[in-house]
């Protein structure tokens, strides 16, 4: 059949350029599915300054939704992100854990599993994109947003523990699909809660197959192939995809226990490796560190007009932080619901460490490196991951090769965690007996993502991940009174000394 020709303004093709069936399908999918959803999620609530040829300041509604939710929880729970930080570290270290606590994985393994889904390419490339668009001041607002997001993580994970269930096969199931349905039913809104739970589950499955899988495989292959020419080309992509699918399958077929065990090893290693390189660069540039911090703080409040002014810089910082740490998205509660603990709020304290590690530490360090090395203003540095690579290469010429290994680890860890998120939503919708069907589909998409160029499909899946925030935060806000009572009860018992540490004499004689 002779390829058809069509006008394709979305993909930028000339009017007379032939397009195949897949290209045409991608164009139609983008025009009638992706673009309408994107128009809703990224609706500019600061629309009154939009002028022809000058978009002005853009404030996406999904970012505002996440920001308002995080601010609400921070005030509602009286800055739990500050007063509960030290206790969260103790809980993650297992200081209050018992061998007979109900659950499938340790609190630290749950933290590692959730972190493996958030700490990834966004911390490397996304931060540089934000700095390029909004200037050094965005780094300051990333940190602020990460600090507020800690309260969102606490609230949603506490609810996940409160409403988790044990399936007939003995595995724990929890997350927004449970507390939206059961929690809102308890408030007298069963239909509303069930509707939110279904919408969340469908979006989570879509996000797990695309943004949490295809996109990761696609980017990992691109980075690895850039330093290993042997893998460049169709045959290399197919082989890479099959190998990655095989390794991912070895982990996800073992369930959350295997995922938690692998994540507990990979996440600390990849974070330590990346942070060690970053800290060494900051040490080499110790003389410019004070100036760099001054530039970041100064441009956070008095940015250059080229970056969109104060509001533009603030939005870029909050946007990058929200997309990176997923606070309020509803993904992390699915992993944390499997943590072994008898106290829901205790795992909430563990979870609030996630935005701190992801955004306050990793994103902050990436942004600071881009500033002190001058990469953000250097014409040869490029943007995105190229800027980060250029900044690190000023001290480590071999860093692009290391970045390929890091990208592969980040992609792999994100895939195994998102496979579990999608699996739990699939089981909630279609039953636990069909989980193997989902896992087979997921592994196919690991391979397909490596060889695919279907950018619109991946874009759609990323939108699904962001869209999870609307049903999730709506339910968490309505259920925040239950979280507040649970927090007050737990905090009162903690201050009264009613919780014994696992290393205490009383605990060891039980």
How confident is the model over 327-373, as pLDDT tens digits?
899 999 998 998 999 999 999 999 999 999 989 998 889 899 999 99
CA distance 297 to 139: 8
Query: Which pLDDT score, from 0 to 100, does residue 8 have?
Result: 38
Query: Which pLDDT score, from 0 to 100, does residue 240 have?
Result: 84
Given a cut of 70, whether residue 457 has pLDDT beyond it is no
Residue 449 β-bridge partners: none
Nearest to 353 by CA among 53, 150, 145: 150
**Structural domains of the chain, with CATH:** 56-487 (1.10.4160)
Given a cut of 50, whether residue 15 has pLDDT beyond it is no
Query: Which pLDDT score, from 0 to 100, does residue 25 have?
Result: 60
**What separation in angstroms does the CA of 96 have from each of 86, 91, 160, 350?**
13, 6, 19, 12
Q: What percent of the chain has pLDDT over 70?
A: 86
CA distance 127 to 19: 35
Given a cut of 70, whether residue 379 has pLDDT beyond it is yes
Q: At 258, is the pLDDT very low, low, confident or very high (cuts 50, 70, 90)?
A: confident
Nearest to 389 by CA among 403, 377, 376: 403
Q: What is the mean pLDDT of residues 14-38?
A: 64
Q: At 308, is the pLDDT very low, low, confident or very high (cuts 50, 70, 90)?
A: low
Question: Considering only 279-293, 386-400, 420-434, which range has the smallest mean pLDDT?
Answer: 386-400
Q: What is the mean pLDDT of residues 33-51?
A: 76
Q: At 91, is the pLDDT very low, low, confident or very high (cuts 50, 70, 90)?
A: very high
Question: Considering only 9-23, 109-123, 160-174, 179-193, which range has the smallest mean pLDDT?
Answer: 9-23
Read out DSSP for 364-379? HHHHHHHHHTTGGG-T
Residues 6+ apart with CB under 8 A from 246: none
Query: Which pLDDT score, from 0 to 100, does residue 54 have?
Result: 55
User: pTM, whole model, 2 decimals?
Assistant: 0.84
């Amino acid at each position: 059949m002779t390829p058809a020709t069509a006008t394709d303004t979305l993909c930028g093709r000339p009017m007379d350029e032939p397009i195949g069936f897949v290209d045409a399908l991608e164009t139609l999918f983008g025009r009638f599915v992706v673009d309408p959803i994107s128009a809703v999620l990224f609706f500019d609530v600061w629309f009154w300054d939009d002028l022809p040829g000058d978009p002005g300041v853009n404030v996406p509604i999904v970012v505002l939704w996440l920001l308002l939710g995080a601010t609400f929880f921070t005030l509602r729970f009286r800055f739990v992100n500050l007063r509960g930080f030290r206790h969260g570290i103790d809980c993650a270290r297992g200081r209050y854990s018992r061998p007979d606590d109900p659950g499938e994985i340790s609190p630290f393994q749950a933290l590692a599993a959730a972190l493996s889904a958030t700490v990834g390419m966004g911390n490397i490339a996304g931060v540089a994109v934000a700095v390029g668009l909004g200037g050094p001041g965005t780094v300051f607002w990333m940190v602020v947003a990460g600090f507020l997001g800690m309260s969102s993580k606490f609230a949603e994970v506490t609810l996940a523990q409160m409403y988790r269930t044990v399936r007939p096969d003995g595995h724990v199931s929890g997350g927004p699909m449970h507390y939206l349905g059961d929690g809102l039913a308890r408030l007298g809104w069963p239909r509303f809660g069930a509707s939110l739970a279904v919408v969340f589950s469908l979006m989570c499955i879509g996000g797990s197959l695309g943004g949490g899988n295809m996109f990761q495989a696609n980017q990992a292959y691109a980075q690895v192939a850039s330093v290993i020419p042997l893998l460049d080309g169709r045959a290399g992509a197919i082989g890479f995809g099959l190998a990655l699918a095989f390794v991912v399958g070895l982990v996800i077929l073992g369930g959350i226990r295997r995922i938690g065990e692998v994540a507990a090893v990979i996440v600390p290693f990849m974070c330590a490796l990346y942070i060690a390189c970053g800290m060494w660069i900051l040490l080499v540039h110790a003389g410019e560190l004070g100036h760099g911090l001054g530039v970041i703080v100064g441009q956070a409040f008095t940015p250059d007009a080229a970056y969109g002014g104060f509001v533009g810089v603030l939005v870029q910082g909050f946007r990058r932080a929200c997309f990176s740490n997923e606070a309020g998205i509803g993904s992390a509660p699915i992993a944390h619901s499997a943590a072994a603990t008898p106290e829901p709020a205790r795992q909430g304290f563990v979870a609030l460490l996630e935005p701190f590690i992801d955004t306050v530490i990793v994103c902050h360090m990436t942004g600071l490196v881009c500033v002190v090395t001058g990469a953000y203003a250097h014409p040869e540095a490029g943007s995105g991951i190229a800027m980060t690579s250029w900044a690190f290469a000023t001290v480590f010429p071999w860093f692009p090769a290391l970045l390929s290994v890091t990208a592969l680890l980040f992609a792999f860890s994100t895939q195994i965690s998102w496979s579990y998120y999608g699996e739990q939503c699939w089981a909630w919708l279609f039953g636990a007996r069909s989980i193997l069907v989902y896992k087979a589909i997921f592994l196919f998409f690991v391979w397909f993502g490596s060889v695919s160029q279907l950018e619109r499909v991946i874009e759609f899946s990323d939108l699904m991940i962001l869209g999870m925030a609307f049903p999730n935060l709506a339910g968490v806000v309505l259920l925040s009174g239950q979280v507040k009572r649970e927090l007050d009860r737990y905090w009162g018992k903690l201050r009264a000394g009613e919780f014994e540490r696992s290393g205490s004499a009383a605990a060891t004689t039980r």
